[in-house]
Structure 1
């Protein structure tokens, strides 16, 4: 394509020219710190979640490093309209996460407030979730959880303010007897997924598992 000649796709880390569908070159890919967590085993995310709510299984694709490559990858998806990043992250996830006999019934991603969605133009988690849904053959629902308050990005808040947010989410429809895989971008305090998890758990005989792109602990 003509645009590719004048504006070639470049690695977001080292700026080497790469294929249009890629985010990083092969050399920089080797610098990504994947967690290799056991989905049903014990690790830092499960330990933190268990202190806040009953959780089934947990998984993080990468270790989040401030000003590092994992942060650049997520910010390309979240703030720079690189929607193909969602598909790339989903591909990396499916290569590493075998759900086997622990498949959930439904995939649910953390929602944006309607005002934030209008500002950004898309929810960065939707393409990621939809790609996972297609690969694992698990349905998704983008409408089941709604965000009740508009606020500045979690990445711009300090931990104290994040913990002080009260009832930021609610269910928009009834749900019972389901195992929900709740999907977010970065796990830091766990406050966001905990708030949503309790809405799901209190709604009926439901179970919750957690999947995030990166863990920052």
Structure 2
């Protein structure tokens, strides 16, 4: 309690003091550009994915514009050592996504390289995915995939630097006949997501859908 008085939680946009369970104040929340995607329908993200790999459904929570509040939110999750941001984002997602057409069989997250995991101290996607898994009663497996190469963070690269890397990911276990929901933070060129998707799709009968926190324009 004493620490909360000395270091109160503040809105990451305007610095207004807010509840410890919040990320932005009520006024700044209105600035967030939510996509209003429907998981079971066509949308911008699904169209972009179709150019790269066969996909069932896709959902992005926010748009990731330059100098936007959504960018601050994602960077706070990834680089601000604020793992609890994942809980807030999961709650926003639960309010906006519906699996009416078909519930995926499994949730998995795009893995960090072990070196990056040690540097960051946590995978920013795990708490987010765990809460969605519990809420929608979809099993999740954070160990399904491994990242084979250590790479500079995508969010800190220019678009021209983000190129496809073969064999970037591998499966730790064989799965077949599963509809897998792949979760990542930001979809930019789609190279990372495509690498993950094809690794899953190469096994017989697998299908993929994707969920990302933000869609970079």
Query: How does the TM-score come out when normalised to structure 1?
Result: 0.98
1:13 shift after superposition: 0.3
1:136-186 deviations in Å (ceiling 9; x for gaps): 111110001100000110112233332242221111110111000000001
Output the CA distance in 2 between the equivalents of 1:181 and 1:128. 13
Structure 2, unpaired ranges of 5+: none
What pairs up with 1:115-134 in 2 under 5 angstroms? 115-134=115-134
Output the CA distance in 1 between the equivalents of 2:164 and 2:199. 17
1:24 shift after superposition: 0.3
What pairs up with 1:1-217 in 2 under 5 angstroms? 1-217=1-217
Output the CA distance in 1 between the equivalents of 2:103 and 2:46. 17
1:78 shift after superposition: 0.5
Runs of 4+ deviating beyond 4 Å:
none
Query: How does the TM-score come out when normalised to structure 2?
Result: 0.98
Structure 1, unpaired ranges of 5+: none
**Pairwise CA RMSD:** 0.9
| 3-state SS of 2:95 partner | helix
Output the CA distance in 2 between the equivalents of 1:127 and 1:120. 14
1:101 shift after superposition: 3.5
CA contact (8 A) 2:40 2:99 kept: no
